[in-house]
Copies of this chain bind each other. A is one copy, B any other.
Amino acid sequence: MRKKEPEDTGFDINSIPGIAGRSPKNSCEMPQALINRLPVYFRCLRDLINRDVLKVSSQELSDICGVSPSQLRQDMKYFGGLGQRGYGYNVMRLYNSISETLGVGRKYSAVIIGAGRLGEALYESRLFEQRGVWVKGVFDVSREKTGKEFGAVTVRGTEELCDFCRENRIDIAVICFPCLEKEEVTGLLKDCGVSGVWNFSQVRLDGEELGVPVENICTGDSLMMLTYEMSVRDNRKDENKA
Interface residues of A (CB under 8 A from B): 1, 35-36, 38-40, 42-43, 68, 101-104, 106, 108, 116-118, 120-121, 124-128, 130-133, 171-172, 178, 195-198, 202, 204, 207, 212-215, 217-231, 233-234
Contacts and interface: CB of A to CB of B under 8 A. Distances in A.
Contact of A127 (B124, B223, B225): B223
Given A125-B178, A198-B226, 11 more contacts: A39-B220, A102-B231, A104-B224, A108-B227, A117-B118, A127-B223, A131-B224, A195-B233, A195-B234, A213-B229, A215-B226
B228 A223 contact: no
Given A106-B231, A117-B120, A234-B106, A217 B226 contact: no
Contact of A121 (B118, B214, B226): B118
Contacts of A220: 39, 43, 127, 130-131
Q: List the number of copies, as a whole number.
A: 2
A221 B39 contact: yes
Nearest to A213: B229
Contacts of A215: 222-223, 225-226, 229
B226 A172 contact: yes
Closest 6 CB pairs between A and B? A103-B231, A213-B229, A39-B221, A103-B227, A117-B121, A39-B224
A103 to B, nearest CB: 3
